[in-house]
Structure 1
Amino acid sequence: MINDKVLSIILGGGQGSRLYPLTASRSKPAVPIAGKYRLVDIPISNCINSDIKRMYVLTQFNSASLNRHIKNTYHFSFFSSAFVDVLAAEQTIASDKWFQGTADAVRQSMHHFLQHDFEYALILSGDQLYQMDFNNMIARHEEAGAKISIATYPVNAKDATSFGILKSDENNVITSFIEKPSEDQLKDWKSEVSDDMKSDGREYLASMGIYIFNRDLLIELMDNPDTIDFGKEIIPQSINKHKTLSYPFEGYWTDIGNIDSFFEANLGLTDAIPDFNLYDVNQRVYTRARILPTSKISGTTLNSSVIAEGCLIHAAMIERSVIGIRSRIGKESTVINTYMMGCDFYESLEEIQSNNIPILLGIGERCFIKNTIIDKNCRIGDDVRINGGKHLEDKETEMYLIKDGIVVIKKGAVIPKGFVI
C-alpha cells in the first residue's frame, strides 16, 4: 500500500561541519549509525512504516556514498510507483547556485516534485533519530484544516536556545514562533506540556524540523526567492497568514547535530531498555541487506554492548560499546564506551601475506580504547592506548580529532603500534 496523498522530501543538510571528521568524505545522511545503518535510513524507514513510499533525498556535499547506499538498499516493485531518489544540487537555467538553505533546496528541486500528484509535502531532516507514524500527523493536519503542520517536541531551557521555539493555543494552532531565542527571551515562551515533561523541566515547544505543507501553499511560498530557510523565514512569516498546526510528539527524538550528540545516541543503544527501540517489529529500521556471516567471539567478556554481524572478536573485554559490521578486535584488548563503525571489506590471509600488511584492519592486540569513535576501515596497531575524556584538550591531527573529550579516529586512519592518546 502507498499513501498517494503524500510526497516526502528529506533534507540532507549542509556541509555537516559540526559532525566533522565523520562528514569529511560523506554527506551527513550517509554517516553510519548503530553499527550497520546510515542516518538516512531513519527518516526513510519512518516513511515506509507509514506507507509513504515516494521519497526524495536532497543533498549537495559528498553525495557519492549516499547515492550508492540508496541505490543498493531501496528496491521497490517494478509495478509500484514507490521510489527513493537522491537529488544533488544542480545548475539549471533558473539557478546556478548551490542550495542556500532548507527552503532554497526545496525551491531549486520543485520541478522534480511537481512531476508527481500529491496533496501534501512531508519535509523531513536527514540527521535525526526517532520513530514516528506520520499518518497520525497527517490525520491531525486534515482534521484541523491546516495549511502547515509542524511536529513539536518539549525541550528544557538549556536546549531551547538551539531550536525554533513556538507557542500554540488550546487547539494546537501556532500563534507565535521565534528562531533560536536568547536566554533572556525564554521567560515568555513556556508552553503547557504534560506533567511528565514539566517535571523534567521541558516546558518549551521546539520545532523538530518536520513539516507538512499543502501542495498549493508550498508552490506559492516557493515563488519568493528571498526566503531561503524554513525555520528562519518561511515559518515565522506564515503563521499569521496561514493556519499552522503544532503536532506535539513526546516519544524519543534526538537531533544528531554534533559529535557529542552522535556519540551519546549510539552508546544509548547499549542501555538495557534503550530509548530508541531497534527491536520494534512495527517500527522497523531498514538498511542495506548484506550477505554476512555471523559474528565469532572468543574469550571475551561482553557487557552492555551491541555487536553487528560479520565480526571476529578475541578481545579481553567490551563494555558499553557498539561494534559495527566486519569489525576485528585482537586478543587481550579492552574496549569501553566506544563506537567502532567497522569495515567495508575483509582482508584475506593471502592478501595480508602477499602484500606484507603490517597493521591489519580493526583493533590489534593488547589495546585499550575508551571514549572513542573509530570510523570505517581504520587500522589500529598492537599495544595502542586511547583514553578519551574531558582531561583531553581539543586537537586535530592527520589521524584523529579530539572534540569535547571524545577521540574520533578518522576514516581509513592507520594508528602505529604502541601509540598513546
Structure 2
Amino acid sequence: MHVDTLTFVFAMARGEPEPLTRHRTKAAVPFGGKYRVIDFTLANCLHSGLRQILVLTQYKSHSLHKHLRDAWSLFNPQLGEFITPVPPQMRDGIGWYRGALDALRQNRYLIERSPASQVMLLDGGLVYRMDYAELIDFHREQGAAVTCALRRQEDAAAGGAGLGIACDAAGRIIGMTLAPDTDPDPDPAQQTPAGVEAPLGAYVIDKALLLSRLDRLAAAEASAVDPASVDEGAPGAFPGVWADIGRHLLAPLIPEQAVFGYRFGGERGRVTPDRYWADLGSIDAYFRANMALLEAEPPLDLYQPDWNILTYQGQFPPARTVPGSVSGTEGIFVNSMLAAGSVIHGGGVSHSVLFPQVQVDDGAIVDEAILFEGVRVGAGAQIRRCICDKDVVIPAGAKIGFDRGEDEARFFVSPQGIVVIPKGQRL
C-alpha cells in the first residue's frame, strides 16, 4: 500500500453527457450495465495500493455519496485506509468549490495533516484502467516534482481540456499549449508542436510543492479579485479539472521544476494494456462507449481476473427470459448485456445494455439501446438507438427511435440521432 500518497478524486462538476447529468454528477453516471463512471478510477486506486482517498464532491452529490457508501465501504480505517467524500466545508468562507485548485485550497488542512509525502490528483469522470503504482514509481525514479500521465494525441478527439503537452526524449515536459477553443486568449504565434500528447487526468505532485503553489495562487487571487465579485452560487460551474490544473498549476512549474510525462498504455504495470480511455463527453460518445463493450473483442477489458471493477450490486434475483404471457413467444436476447433482476417476457433484445431490474414485455423489441435500472418496456413497444434513464416506463405499442422529427418534439436527440428519455418519465 502506498501509505505516503494521499489521493484526491475530483467528482464535483455536473459535466457531460447532458441530459444524463441532469440529476447526478458525471462521476455517478451509470455505465456498462452495472457500474458508475467513478468505479473505474476507484478500482484503479484499489488495485494500485492507494487506500487514502478523498473524493471531492459538489453538484447533486447525493447519488454519488450513496454509491460510495454502498459500493466502496470496504477499506479498514484501523489500518489508515479510507474513501471519504468531501463536499465544500466552507472553513474559510461560504463559497462553493470554484475549480479543482480552489477545492484543494479549501481542503488544505487535509493535505497538511496527512503524513503523505506526495499527492495524487485524479479526475473521477473518466473510464479507463491504469496501474497508478507504476506512475508513482516512475515519478520517484525521475526525481520529479510533478508527473502528468499522458495519452496519445489522436485520443484527444475523445474529449478533454484541449491541452497539448510536449516532452523531450527523456520524458521531461518542455512545453504546453491550449487549443484555441479552450483558451480565451490564444496566441496565434504559438502553435501546437508536432508530437504533442494530451493529459490523461492523473497527476502526482510533491506535497510540499503543492502547498507552496496553493499559497501563491491564493495570494495572487486575493490581490487580483474582489471576493464580492465572485459568483459562488453555481456549484459545478467552473473550468474542467484538466484546464484548471494544466493552466494554473502545471504550466508555471515547467520552467522551474522537474515536470515529467508518463505515457499511458505502456508495458509497465499489472493491468492489461488495452490503452482504452474515454471521458464520455457527449451523448454520442457515451452511447459509442457502451456499444463498444458488445464487440467480440471489446476495447475495454472488463474481464481481467486480477483487475476487476468493483461496484454496488443490489440483492436482485438472476436475470432470465420467459415466454410471453399472451403470445407464448420465448423471450430472447442477442449480443447484449443483461444485469441482475432483469426479465424479458417474450420480448426481444438485441445489441443492447440492460441495467438491473429492467422488464421487456411481450412482443416488445429493444435494439441498440441502453436501459437504466428499473426501466419497463410495454408489450409491443419498439425502441432503437435510445437511452432510457432510470425508472422510465415505455407504454405498450410505442415506437421511439424511428422518426427523428417526432422524437425531437418530445425528447433530447443527439447529433447522431440517439434519443434520451429523462429519468422517471412515464410516456
Alignment TM-score, normalising by the size of structure 1: 0.85
Q: Which residue of 2 aligns with 1:382?
A: 396
Paired residues for 1:170-185 under 5 Å: 170-181=169-180
CA deviation after TM superposition for structure 1 residue 217, in Å: 0.7
1:342 aligns with 2:373: yes
Name the amino acid aligned to 1:58. Answer: L
CA deviation after TM superposition for structure 1 residue 20, in Å: 2.1
1:254 aligns with 2:278: yes
Alpha-carbon distance between aligned partners in 1 of 2:380 and 2:127, rounded to the nearest angstrom: 34
Question: CA 1:206/1:139 → structure 2, altered by over 3 Å: closer, same or farther?
Answer: same
Q: In 1, are the aligned partners of 2:173 and 2:254 still within 8 Å (CA)?
A: yes
Paired residues for 1:46-65 under 5 Å: 46-65=44-63
Paired residues for 1:22-171 under 5 Å: 22-75=20-73, 76-92=75-91, 94-156=92-154, 159=157, 162-171=161-170
Q: CA RMSD in A?
A: 2.3
> How many positions carry a matched residue from both structures?
380
Name the amino acid aligned to 2:24. Answer: R
Moved more, 266-275 or 314-323: 314-323
SS, match of residue 156 in structure 1 = helix
Question: CA 1:144/1:286 → structure 2, altered by over 3 Å: closer, same or farther?
Answer: same
CA deviation after TM superposition for structure 1 residue 261, in Å: 1.4
Gaps of 5+ in 2: 222-238, 266-274, 323-329
Alpha-carbon distance between aligned partners in 2 of 1:231 and 1:396, rounded to the nearest angstrom: 41
Q: Which residue of 1 aligns with 2:271?
A: none
Q: Which residue of 1 aligns with 2:295?
A: 271
1:189 aligns with 2:193: yes
CA deviation after TM superposition for structure 1 residue 77, in Å: 2.9
Q: Which residue of 2 aligns with 1:354?
A: none
Q: Which residue of 2 aligns with 1:297?
A: 321
1:414 aligns with 2:426: yes
Moved more, 130-139 or 226-235: 226-235
Alpha-carbon distance between aligned partners in 2 of 1:50 and 1:388, rounded to the nearest angstrom: 46
Paired residues for 1:203-218 under 5 Å: 204-218=196-210
Alignment TM-score, normalising by the size of structure 2: 0.84
Alpha-carbon distance between aligned partners in 2 of 1:369 and 1:6, rounded to the nearest angstrom: 48
Q: Deviations over 1:236-262 (max 9, x none)?
A: 111111111101113111112222211
Alpha-carbon distance between aligned partners in 1 of 2:52 and 2:365, rounded to the nearest angstrom: 45
Alpha-carbon distance between aligned partners in 1 of 2:332 and 2:191, rounded to the nearest angstrom: 50
Alpha-carbon distance between aligned partners in 1 of 2:84 and 2:423, rounded to the nearest angstrom: 26
Alpha-carbon distance between aligned partners in 2 of 1:96 and 1:252, rounded to the nearest angstrom: 40
Alpha-carbon distance between aligned partners in 2 of 1:187 and 1:363, rounded to the nearest angstrom: 52
Alpha-carbon distance between aligned partners in 2 of 1:115 and 1:320, rounded to the nearest angstrom: 50
Question: CA 1:157/1:264 → structure 2, altered by over 3 Å: closer, same or farther?
Answer: closer
Q: Which residue of 2 aligns with 1:325?
A: 356
Moved more, 222-231 or 332-341: 222-231
SS, match of residue 19 in structure 2 = coil
Q: Which residue of 1 aligns with 2:246?
A: 231
Q: Deviations over 1:144-183 (max 9, x none)?
A: 0000011111133972885211100011000000123469
Name the amino acid aligned to 1:330. Answer: D
SS, match of residue 222 in structure 1 = helix
CA deviation after TM superposition for structure 1 residue 315, in Å: 4.7
Question: CA 1:143/1:386 → structure 2, altered by over 3 Å: closer, same or farther?
Answer: same
Q: After TM superposition, which residue ranges in structure 1, 4 or more long, deviate above 3 angstroms?
A: 181-188, 391-397
Q: Deviations over 1:199-252 (max 9, x none)?
A: xxxxx4101121111111111111122578212221111111111110111311
Q: Deviations over 1:286-337 (max 9, x none)?
A: 1114222110113233222111111111253222110001111111111111
Alpha-carbon distance between aligned partners in 1 of 2:36 and 2:167, rounded to the nearest angstrom: 34
Paired residues for 1:281-292 under 5 Å: 281-292=305-316
Moved more, 102-111 or 39-48: 102-111
Task: Give the % identical residues.
Answer: 26
SS, match of residue 197 in structure 2 = strand
Q: Which residue of 2 aligns with 1:356?
A: none
Q: Deviations over 1:77-133 (max 9, x none)?
A: 3532111111112322x2322111111111112212332211221111111110000
CA deviation after TM superposition for structure 1 residue 19, in Å: 2.1
Name the amino acid aligned to 2:355. Answer: G
SS, match of residue 78 in structure 2 = coil
SS, match of residue 317 in structure 2 = coil
